[in-house]
Structure 1
Amino acid sequence: MGNPPTTIRCVLHGSFNKHFDIIQEAHEAFLKAGIEVVAPSATQITAVKNGFAYFTENGHLDPRAIELVYLGQLKRLGDQGFSYFVNPSGYMGRSASYELGIAQITNTRCFFSDPLIDHPAYVHGNAVWKPDALAEYVKWYGKVPAPRVRGNERLLHKMWESLMVPGSIVAAGAIVEHVGTNEVLLVRTHKWGGRYSIVGGRVRRNERLSETLLREVEEETGLVGAIGHHIATFDQIADTRYYRPGVQHIFVDNVVTVEERRVRLNEEAEEFVWLPSSEALKELDLEPNARHTLETYNKLKSQLAKAEGLDQRR
């Protein structure tokens, strides 16, 4: 088994022209707490033109390209990542306001240094944290604070969710099967409350299911595989910690065969184990969706073995 540390990532936002010193202080506080700040990089402002700050590595780019490259870092945050907005006295500014809209529509968790004053955006009641306090919380609990809906804002929150939360999410999952032993790979992950699950993830825009499957296996385990039999396609089971009312999660799960057993986990999981599927079902604390897929996999193996036996007798 492996046991790598879980990495929580964040992107910092704010007026680099007016509040760069405060943004740097937040950057340092998060780094000390073990939070990986994926943007901005630790560089200095080289110029300010029309209120837009240019950094060492991007001074030659169109400001629109700089903004899009910066926002592209949100993709690296993962399920535990967050955006942090430095907005002293409630001031957001034009660029940060734009970035807040993109962060919210991409379902990125957002936190703020001060309550919003110059912006009409809805944020939940547990979203305002000073950098040191948020850093200490993440360091102590290993996760970001959960949303808290104020009693008089339930209707607002429901309206916000109807806009921001996607109606359907498609995910590709893999029963990673070792060719030499027929053992399968399961990973224990914070995404499922510390239970074991299979490898997989959301299908990206313009990505085919097969591409998602192989990409997720390689990103999460370092293994290169080949796609085998389709196992199951089903809606998410409702009694999991990942379940969100109003969101239809669709899982498309396949066998992925690999010839290596050396696993290199990324930050999405804490441990891994190779086991025969029947033993995994008996011994591991599996999240319900993975258990469903593993049970279906076992039935498929039995059916294929029977079919092969009939062919041999003919």
Structure 2
Amino acid sequence: MELAFERLNAEARRDGVQQAVVGAVVQHDGKVLLLQRPEAEFMGGIFELPSGKVEAGETLDAALIREVKEETGLDIASIRDYLGSFDYTSDSGRNSRQFNFAVDVNTPEPVELQEHDAYTWTSLTEELPVTDAVKDVLSKYRELHGA
């Protein structure tokens, strides 16, 4: 998958993306983990995937492992699938692209929040309280995993 990570970064640079972001679909027992953004922050109150910025010189996979650990306390056991990306303008006005991956974690509990107000394990059959872009990522996950 290393070549795929390099290709994704190259495409983002070509497209003028200024900030790479990674997102994780963490699944357990037929449900996915969603985190709620603090009310006072950019897009406050919405639920999102565990996600965060790729630091300078950091690979996508290393950023994914770091961000999931920082935001949830969970350790990624494996990165299974690339689920696509979406572009958006960050709160600082930067052209950003979020690359999304299906991951397995060593153990799904306890979730230890550092940057969010709440979390939920949500069934993919429910109406999800997320943006349309995240709905598209979860739809791709359902296609691949029959969830």
Give the TM-score of the pair, scaled to structure 1. 0.37
Q: Does 2:139 match 1:295?
A: yes
* Contact 2:17/2:97 (<8 A) preserved: no
2:25 is aligned with 1:175:
yes
Report the Cα offset of residue 182 of structure 1.
3.1
Q: 1:185 to 1:167 in 2, by over 3 A?
A: closer
Q: What does residue 215 of structure 1 align with?
A: 66
SS state of the match for residue 201, structure 1?
strand
**Counterpart contact for 1:278–1:298, Cα < 8 Å:** no
* Residue of structure 1 equivalent to 2:99: 252
Residue 167 of structure 1: how far off its partner (Å): 6.0
Amino acid at match of 1:228: R
Q: TM-score with structure 2 length normalisation? A: 0.76
- CA shift, 1:294, in A, is 1.4
For residues 114-153 of structure 1, the aligned pairs below 5 Å read none
Tell me which structure has the larger Cα radius of gyration: 1
Aligned equivalent of 1:270: 117
Q: CA deviation at 1:292?
A: 2.4
Residue in 1 that maps onto 2:33: 185
For 1:293, the aligned partner's letter is V
Aligned-residue identity in percent: 29
1:233 aligns with 2:85: yes
Amino acid at match of 1:254: F
Give the alignment of 1:89-108 within 5 angstroms: none
The higher relative CO (CA closer than 8 Å, separation ≥ 6) is in 2
- Gaps spanning 5+ residues in structure 1: where? 1-165, 306-314
> 1:187–1:198: 8 Å Cα contact kept in structure 2?
yes
Contact 1:172/1:212 (CA < 8 Å) preserved in 2? yes
Whole-Å Cα distance in 2 between the matches of residues 244 and 212 of structure 1? 20
Unaligned ranges ≥5, structure 2: 1-15
Q: Offset at 1:244?
A: 6.4
Measured on the aligned residues, the alpha-carbon RMSD in Å equals 2.3
Amino acid in structure 1 at the alignment position of 2:95: Q
Structure 1 residue 260, shift from structure 2 partner: 1.9
Contact 2:35 2:118 in 1 (8 A): yes
2: distance between equivalents of 1:167 and 1:231? 18
How far the C-alpha of 1:296 sits from its partner, in A, is: 2.0
Amino acid across the alignment from 1:301: H
The alpha carbon displacement at 1:257 in A equals: 0.8
CA distance in structure 2 between the partners assigned to 1:257 and 1:211 by the alignment: 15
| Aligned-partner Cα distance in 2 for 1:244–1:259 | 34
Structure that is richer in helix per residue: 1
Q: Distance in 2 between matches of 1:243 and 1:265?
A: 22
- Quote the residue 1:139 is aligned against: none
Larger strand percent: 2
